[in-house]
Amino acid sequence: MAELLSLNAEVEEFKKEYFFRSGQAEEARQKENQAQIRIQSWFTTCKVQACLSHLHKKAIIIQKIWRGFRARARVRQMVKAAYFIMKMNFYEEMAVRIQRRWRGFFVRKYIHNFSARKSYLDRLAVKNNLVRRELDELEELEKRERSCLEKIKEQTAKVYQAHRLHHLLSTKQRPGVFMSPFSTVPHEMELLLRQVKYQAPTKLASRGSACPMGIPGSTDPSFTETLKSPWMKTTRTCCSRPALPPITSKKDQDLLRKPGEMWGQRVHCPDMMLCLQTTYTHLEEAQNQRRQHESERLKL
C-alpha cells in the first residue's frame, strides 16, 4: 500500500514535472521556431544573393562580349568606309592629274600653239617699237609746229604793236623812242617799225592791206583770235596763206544766201576750202612722204 502511494506520488510528481517541462519546451519551441525562421531566412537570403550575384556577373560578361562584338563590327565598318573614301580620293586625284596633263598637252598643241604665240609676241614687240618710233617722230614734229606757231604768234603781236606804234618811228630830224643815242645798234622794234608801212586809219580798212611778210594786219578781224591747233595739218602753211579779197558791199549777211553768191565766193577764194578738204589720213601720208624724201636724200 505504501508502495502504491509512493508510486501515485511519483506519478503526480512526474505529471507535474511533465507539465512543467512541457510548458518550458513549448516556450523554447516558439523561440527555436523563430530562430529557425531567422536562420532559414538568412540562409535563403544569402543563397538568393549569391545566385543573383552570379547571374549579374554572367549578365555583365554576356553584355561585355556582345558590346565588344558590336563595337568591333562598327569599327570594321568605319575602317572600310574610311579606306573606301581614301581610295576614292586617291583615284580622283590621279584622274584630275591625268586630265590636267592631257588638257595642257591638247591646249598647247592644238589651241594655243606656243611657237605661234611666241612669234606673235615677237612681231608685236617689233610693231610696238615701230609705233613708239613713229610717235616720237610725231611728237617731235608737233613740238616744232608748236614752236613755229608760237614764233608766228609773237611776230604777229610785234607787227600789230608796230602798226599801233608807227608814229614813234625815228626820223632824220628827231630820233624815236626805240632809237637810243647811247646804243650803236638800233632796237628790234625800231627795225620792225621801219619795215612796216604806215596805214591810214579808216572806218573800215581792207583785209589784205596790212599783210607784210604774209602776217595779218591790226585791222584784221581774225587777228585777235587764237591760232589753229597744232594737231590740224593742212597742205599749205599759215605763212603762205593768201589774203582774202576785200568786202566791197556793206550789206548784212542773211540767213539764207543765194547759191550764185556762195559759188562766186568759193571760186574767188578756193584756198579757204583746202583746210576742209584734207582727209583723216593726211598725217600718215605726210609721214610717208617725209620718209620717202629722206630715203631719196640718203641714196643721193
Query: Which tens digit of pLDDT belongs to each residue from 96-106?
Result: 999 999 998 88
Highest mean pLDDT among 16-30, 75-89, 182-196, 238-252: 75-89
CB of 251 closer than 8 Å to CB of 191: no
Degrees, nearest 5: CA angle 186-190-195: 120
**What does the chain come to in residues?**
300
Q: Give the pLDDT of residue 262.
A: 58
pLDDT-above-90 percentage for the chain? 32
Q: How many CB atoms lie within 10 A of CB 18?
A: 12
* C-alpha pair distances (Å), 272 with each of 115, 265, 275: 55, 10, 7
For the cut 90, the answer to whether the pLDDT of residue 66 exceeds it is: yes
HSE-up of residue 71 (Cα within 13 Å, Cβ side): 6
For the cut 60, the answer to whether the pLDDT of residue 209 exceeds it is: no
Q: Give the pLDDT of residue 230.
A: 38
Confidence bin at 129 (pLDDT 50/70/90): very high
The one-character DSSP state at 284 is H
- The rounded distance, in Å, linking the Cα atoms of 189 and 166 is 10
Degrees, nearest 5: CA angle 175-176-178: 120
- The rounded distance, in Å, linking the Cα atoms of 102 and 110 is 12
Q: What is the mean pLDDT of residues 102-111?
A: 86
pTM above 0.75, yes or no: no
Look up residue 228 and give its three cell numbers: 589753229
Degrees, nearest 5: CA angle 18-22-27: 155
